[in-house]
Structure formats: C-alpha cells, structure tokens
Amino acid sequence: MATTALPVAEVCAQAKAAARELATVDTAVKDAALHAMADALEQRSGEILEGNARDMEAGQDARLHSGLLDRLRLSEERLAGIARDVRRIAALPDPVGETIDGHRLENGLDVRRVRVPLGVVAVVYEARPNVTIDCSALTLKSGNAIVLRGSSTAAHSNSVLAQVASSAARSAGVPEAAISIVSGGDRDELRQIATQDGLVDLVIPRGGEGLKAALKEHATVPVMYAAAGNCHVFVDASADLDDALDITVNAKIQRPSVCNAAETLLVHADAAAEFLPRALRQLRESGVELRVDGRARSLSGELADTLAEAGEEDWWTEYHALILAVKVVDSVEDAVEHVNRYGSGHSEAIVTGSTHSAHAFTEGVDAACVYVNASTRFTDGAVFGMGAEIGNSTQKLHARGPIGLRELTTYKYVIEGQGQVRE
C-alpha cells in the first residue's frame, strides 16, 4: 500500500499502473479480495477500534461538533455493518465488460458499447472512516485503483482501515497499489492530487462546501462532487398527517448528522393549522431546536414564545444537528420554488394524497432524489441495492445520485468486422 512516505505523484503513478492490471482481473479474484477484506475487518476489529478511539479522544479534546463526532465514531456494530456491505458488493454483478447496447451497421460492422473502469479514482473525504472501506470495495469491484485522502481528524482510523483493506486484497491477488492512502495532514496534498493529469482519472470529494471550494480552485482533473445535503420535507394540503408526522420526525432525527437528513420543513397553509402544533411539539420532545417563520409561529400554539425566528441563513444551512427550519407556503409551486432556490440538489420529499401535487413536485424539483410519501433518509447506495456508495452526486454529469459500481465505470465502443474498409 502506497503512503505519503512517497511523493503524491509517485503514489498516483503506482496507482495508475495497478489500475491497468486491475482492469483485467477476473471477477472471482475481485470477489475473493472483497471477502478477505470483510473477514479482516472482523478479525482485526480491536486494532481498528483502538485507532478510532485515539481519533475520538482527539476530536473531543478539540470540541468537534456532535455531528462530526457521530460520523467519526466506529463500534463493533458499525464495523459489522461495514463488513456486511463489503460482502454485498462482492455479491453484485461485475459491471466491467457488460455490454450496454449494440447494433449492426448496414456495412456489416457490429458495434457494441461496453463498460470499462475509469482508471484511478481519488476520494477526498472528511471525518467518516467508513468511507475508507466503502470506497475501496466499490472501486476494487469496478476495476479501479483508489487513492484515499481522509482528514487529519480521522487519521488513525483511516490509516489502519486502509492497511487492513490493502493487505487483505493483496492476499487474494489484487495489485498492491490498488488501494493507497495519503495522510490528509497537509492541504497541499489536496492540490497535488487534484492536479495529477494523466494519472488520476477522477476526484470525488465527500465533505462540506469548504472542501468543494478548495477543489474548484485547484482541480485540473475531472471532479464529481458528492456534495452536501440541504434537504426538505414538504407537507402538502392533502397529506395524511400521521404519515407526514412520521416522515418528518424520521427525516430529521433518525440520524441528523448525515447528508440525507431533513434541514427544512415546509407546510402547506391549508394543512398548517392542524399539522404544525402536533409536529412542532413532537420535534421539540425529540430534542430538536426549531427555527420558524412568522406564519409557522402564529400556528404553533403554546410553543410560540419558545421558538427561534428563522433568518435567511437558516434556509441555506445544512445543520448536521438536531435543528430544523420551518416555513409555511401557499402552494406546491411555492414549495418547489423554495426547494430549488435553497436546496443542494440532494434529496427532497413531498407528503401528499394528490397525484397532481406529487407530479408537480417530482417534475419541478431539481434534485438527485425526489421522494413521494417517504423519508429522505433512504438516499443511500446500500439501501438502493448498490452495496454501498462513494457518495451522492448532485451533479448531472457523469452520474447523479448514489455513486455505485456502474457510476464508477465509463465505456468504450468495440467494433468488429470482417475486413471492411471505408470508401
């Protein structure tokens, strides 16, 4: 496994060589490597958790936000879940070599479009050590080499996890440099990775707007942003209010630190008088800090004097915490307008009994994932049947939504003939 004992350019060059070899490795070898990784995670859990404990202690000393600490924390249960996801990836069809489509030309040439790996994928991420394994497993199965650059906050966790993954994969016959990591302690590493033209084929950042801005400033290689999630739940006039309450509470509190948690609740004016007192009370009882507009406050009953006023910045904010902004709107069109103005294009939900409203919302909202009568919390590669995900792309090129195996491939045209020449 390459580390920052070598210059970043050399790490990437070794990954490029490994990628060329990995692109032709049999599915059986890749699957064996993934099962070896999953087994190693379980067998070496004590070593992994010891490294994570060091990161957690440092994070607590540094007074990291509770949401960041939650994402940083590993446990036996979480490790078991990560290993389970690796085995699920092994069980998925190998996308490499899949024929996407094909046809025969009038001159007899057979044209096929075939999936191939991207090459070297660099993943730059913040304090989420599970990303180390999820991304390594997905890139390996899709025939790509990976260069990992985590944050200094998770340095001990990432180092041991990458070493566990790399050594396990190597024991099954995967090239040594197929999984590499740089320390994440130097901002200049980010610039170096993002400018390795000819060596790195794609950079995928998983983090906040600061990381995104830094890459936009420096990157000369393609970037696919697994961006932040400023997600909304809209309760329409025709919504089943029991369902609306369950969905709202789940979307906010089930795991508030993640990017598919709801940050803003929008409520149609015709449902607000009945829905808001119930919803705000239950959210408060669940520990949620509420920031409301004037109309929501006027309908909040006994809670009115205890609620904070929402400002313009609240509509833009991804809290990563038990904080929720609340606004009353007059129509589904107003809800769509608000979502498209303030949302990050990640995951948006409408709760409605109206086919017309559902259609207006799903057609009008510009986001990677749009839900009807379900929580935004389902946006996840594992939940979608992808085994895991590199992140959730809010772009429109080259992939959108959860980034799984197929999203980590491109394609080539294979043309077969019988001696044809062009006249």
3-state SS, 361-373, equals HHHHCCCCEEEEC
Instruction: Report which of 351, 282, 352, 33 is spatially closest to residue 175, judged by C-alpha positions.
Output: 33
Q: Are 74 and 129 in contact (CB under 8 A)?
A: yes
Residue 412's φ and ψ, nearest 5 degrees, are: -130, 155
Instruction: Report which of 185, 192, 121 is spatially closest to residue 155, judged by C-alpha positions.
Output: 185
pLDDT score at 3:
45
pLDDT (tens digit per residue) in 206-215: 877 788 888 8
pLDDT score at 293:
97
Measured at the CA of 72, the angle between CA 265 and CA 202, to 5 degrees, comes to: 85
Question: Considering the chain, what percentage of its residues have pLDDT values greater than 70?
Answer: 98
Q: How far is CA 100 from the centre of its chain?
A: 25
Q: What is the CATH number of domain 8-226+393-416?
A: 3.40.605.10
pLDDT at 25 exceeding the cut of 60: yes
pLDDT score at 206:
85
pLDDT (tens digit per residue) in 217-252: 899 999 998 768 999 999 999 999 999 999 999 999
Cα–Cα distance for residue pair 330/261, rounded to 1 Å: 24
Amino acid letter, residue 230? N
pLDDT at 183 exceeding the cut of 80: no
Cα–Cα distance for residue pair 382/322, rounded to 1 Å: 24
Measured at the CA of 397, the angle between CA 320 and CA 228, to 5 degrees, comes to: 5
CATH class of the structural domain 231-378: alpha beta
pLDDT score at 226:
79
Both structure tokens of 266: 């929008």
Q: In the block, which residue shows the tokens 């000369």? A: 220
Q: Are 279 and 285 in contact (CB under 8 A)?
A: no
Instruction: Considering only residues 138 and 391, tell me which one the structure prediction assigns the higher pLDDT.
Output: 138
pLDDT at 4 exceeding the cut of 70: no
**Strand (E) positions, 321-381?**
323-329, 347-351, 369-372
Both structure tokens of 177: 């440099």
**pLDDT average, residue stretch 356-367:** 98
- The domain locations on the chain are 8-226+393-416, 231-378
Q: In the block, which residue shows the tokens 């202690």? A: 57
Q: How far is CA 79 from CA 48, 74, 255, 392, 394, in A?
A: 9, 7, 17, 21, 28
Cα–Cα distance for residue pair 39/354, rounded to 1 Å: 48
Cβ neighbour number for residue 243 with a 10 Å cutoff: 15
pLDDT score at 147:
97
pLDDT at 96 exceeding the cut of 90: yes
pLDDT score at 126:
83
Cα–Cα distance for residue pair 80/73, rounded to 1 Å: 14
Q: If you average pLDDT over every residue of the chain, what do you get?
A: 94
Both structure tokens of 356: 């017309």
Residues 6+ apart with CB under 8 A from 22: 117, 140, 143, 144, 145, 174, 175, 178
pLDDT score at 184:
63
**pLDDT average, residue stretch 21-32:** 97
Cα–Cα distance for residue pair 314/291, rounded to 1 Å: 8
Cα–Cα distance for residue pair 318/321, rounded to 1 Å: 8
pLDDT at 186 exceeding the cut of 80: no
Cα–Cα distance for residue pair 3/97, rounded to 1 Å: 31
Instruction: Considering only residues 116 and 128, tell me which one the structure prediction assigns the higher pLDDT.
Output: 116
Burial class (CB in 10 A: 0-12, 13-18, 19+), 397: exposed
pLDDT at 275 exceeding the cut of 70: yes
Residue 174 — very low, low, confident or very high, per pLDDT cuts 50/70/90? very high
Q: Is 147 helix (H, G, I), strand (E, B) or coil?
A: strand
Strands of the 323-329 sheet, one edge to the other: 308-309, 289-292, 323-329, 262-268, 231-235, 347-351, 369-372
pLDDT (tens digit per residue) in 117-137: 999 999 999 888 999 999 999
Both structure tokens of 3: 């580390």
Residues 6+ apart with CB under 8 A from 388: 85, 86, 88, 89, 134, 137, 138, 381, 382, 404
Cα–Cα distance for residue pair 300/315, rounded to 1 Å: 19
Cα–Cα distance for residue pair 394/412, rounded to 1 Å: 25
Contacts by 353-362 with C-beta closer than 8 Å and gap 24+? Answer: 353/236, 353/238, 353/239, 353/240, 354/236, 354/237, 354/238, 357/236, 357/237, 357/238, 357/332, 360/332, 360/333, 360/336, 361/234, 361/236, 361/332, 361/335, 361/336
Residues 6+ apart with CB under 8 A from 332: 234, 236, 268, 350, 352, 357, 360, 361, 364
**pLDDT average, residue stretch 346-361:** 98
pLDDT (tens digit per residue) in 372-409: 999 999 999 999 999 999 989 988 888 999 999 999 99
pLDDT score at 185:
61
